[in-house]
Amino acid sequence: MGRKNTDKVVFHQIQVLDAGAKGVSVAKAPDGKVIFIPNVVPGDVVDVQTFKKRKAYYEGKAVKFHELSEHRVDPICEHFGVCGGCKWQNMKYSQQLYYKQNEVKNHLQRIGKVELPEFETILGSEKQFFYRNKMEFSFSNSRWLTEKEIGSTEDLGNRNALGFHIPKMWDKILDIEKCHLQEDPSNAIRNEIRAFANEHNLAFFNPREHSGLLRTLMIRTASTGEIMVLIQFFEDDKANRELVLDHLYEKFPQITSLQYVVNAKQNDTIYDQDIKLYKGRNYILEEMEGLKFSINAKSFYQTNSDQAYELYKITRDYAGLTGEETVYDLYTGTGTIAQFVSKKAKKVIGVESVPEAILDAKANAERNNITNCEFFVGDMKVVFNEAFIAQHGKPDVIITDPPRDGMHAAVIDQILKIAPKKVVYVSCNSATQARDLALMDEKYKVTRVRPVDMFPQTHHVENVVLLELR
């Protein structure tokens, strides 16, 4: 059955009111329902063509601009609006920070419903572009065509692309010429691989037929200047694989770590794959306050190194350590926060569910001559039990930095049971953080809150909260 035409109405002269979740903006339709509109800025007045109607809202796109918001700026990236990445590039940075701080406040007030102190001002990022230390690109033999190209009668040449997935389209890749998220030589490396592969007629991946040689590209950079490149091949073709890798290493001798993986699985995740070192060493080094952290192809490391340093300083400041405390660092990852606070603590215990991350954490602690940190592998809700605490001592301070879905209820119960004096809660999702704060409210009072912007030009925001025993 065809879609009813009533789904596709045009609303005229609609004022965009607010920046909503996931980087889309929010307006009100004449019937009072909410309209979600991408690529507009609060303050714009637009005509909206709706393409989806639900009980409580519409989704639409701006088809005509009557007035432009004072908060609008010209996006600097040629791919803006098609690429799903930097959705807020058309909004002044000061406004981006305003909406991020607002979102955290709304979540903590509406979902948490706990008593809150006055918020400290969100910490903006000094770099608003070229701040990411890790980028992943996909190869495809059916690149996304622009409307202009689709309407053209000219031969479009080869359809190979190396870039990003078009939002909500798993098989369409936008060919990226210049991305403003990672410092050079990131763009140069990506463009060189594509040009070389095209020149030598190497097959780009076909996601529908599951064929082709070149599948994905990952580039990691560090503030130390070290560079890691990992190419994922679909077919196991030694001659062509080495052709690409040798050319790349010759062209960019500054690559510290050149690795590859041959992955013929349905999905392109590398976490269950055997990664092969081709040239250099299998890790790069990141540095922070004299501490060195090795990062391998599978490591989790905060994606904005400079801002991670600022985030960790706030975390350490909130913990208020004197050198006498036992600190537990839950969801420790590769132990960066644990080691960062260790010189101000008596002992730090890090717990994490990913075994490789804990191996990294131990290796990093050894490299940094840190002797008061211990790291343990396990599912937090299982490991973090009475026996564990009896063995390692009751924590005076807990630092927790859980994944997006927040802490498991069993972990919260355990924190409430052992009642450390302070809990510093670092979160990349203030909605689940707010839910957890409500669960801890019986024993803990929120005494400090500071959002931190790790991802300029996007709607994402981190938040640090200090909880103290009532």
- Which one of the listed residues 77, 83, 86, 428 is annotated catalytic? 428
**Treating both helix axes as pointing N-terminal to C-terminal, what angle do 93-107 and 430-440 enclose, rounded to 10 degrees?**
30
Give the residue from 392, 389, 375 showing the smallest Cα distance to 333: 375
Q: Specify whether the CB–CB gap between 299 and 257 falls below 8 A.
A: no
Give the model's pLDDT for residue 3: 46
Give the model's pLDDT for residue 279: 98
Q: Is 352 annotated as a binding residue?
A: yes
Give the model's pLDDT for residue 286: 95
b (16+ CB within 10 A) / e for 39-68: bbbbbbbbbbebeebeeeebbbebeeeeee
Task: Give me 98's structure tokens.
Answer: 């305003």
Give the residue from 160, 264, 247, 248 showing the smallest Cα distance to 202: 160
Domains of the chain: 8-71 (2.40.50.140), 93-126+303-467 (3.40.50.150), 132-286 (2.40.50.1070)
Q: Is 95 annotated as a binding residue?
A: no
Report the C-alpha gap between 14 and 186 in whole angstroms: 41
Report the C-alpha gap between 293 and 2 in whole angstroms: 56
Mind listing the pLDDT tens digit of every residue in the chain (470 residues)? Answer: 344 445 678 999 999 999 977 788 999 999 999 999 999 999 999 999 998 888 889 999 999 999 999 999 999 999 998 888 899 999 999 999 999 999 999 999 999 999 999 999 999 999 999 999 999 999 999 888 877 777 677 766 789 999 999 887 878 899 999 999 999 999 999 999 999 999 999 999 998 899 999 999 999 999 999 999 999 999 999 999 999 999 999 999 999 999 999 999 999 999 899 999 999 999 999 999 999 999 999 888 899 999 999 999 999 999 999 999 999 999 999 999 999 999 999 999 999 988 888 999 999 999 999 999 999 998 888 888 889 999 999 999 999 999 999 999 999 999 999 999 999 999 999 999 999 999 999 999 999 999 999 999 999 999 999 999 99
209: left (phi over 0), alpha (psi -120 to 50) or beta: alpha
Give the model's pLDDT for residue 2: 43
Counting DSSP H helices and E strands in the chain, the numbers are 11, 21
DSSP 22: G
Report the C-alpha gap between 72 and 89 in whole angstroms: 9
Q: Is 302 annotated as a binding residue?
A: yes
DSSP 380: H
Question: Which parts of 200-329 fold into alpha helices (H)?
Answer: 238-251, 305-319
Give the model's pLDDT for residue 379: 87
**Treating both helix axes as pointing N-terminal to C-terminal, what angle do 186-199 and 238-251 enclose, rounded to 10 degrees?**
140
Report the C-alpha gap between 201 and 195 in whole angstroms: 10
Torsion, Cα 96 100 105 107, to 10 degrees, reads 140
Q: Is 401 annotated as a binding residue?
A: yes
Torsion, Cα 223 226 231 232, to 10 degrees, reads -60
Active site residue 77: no
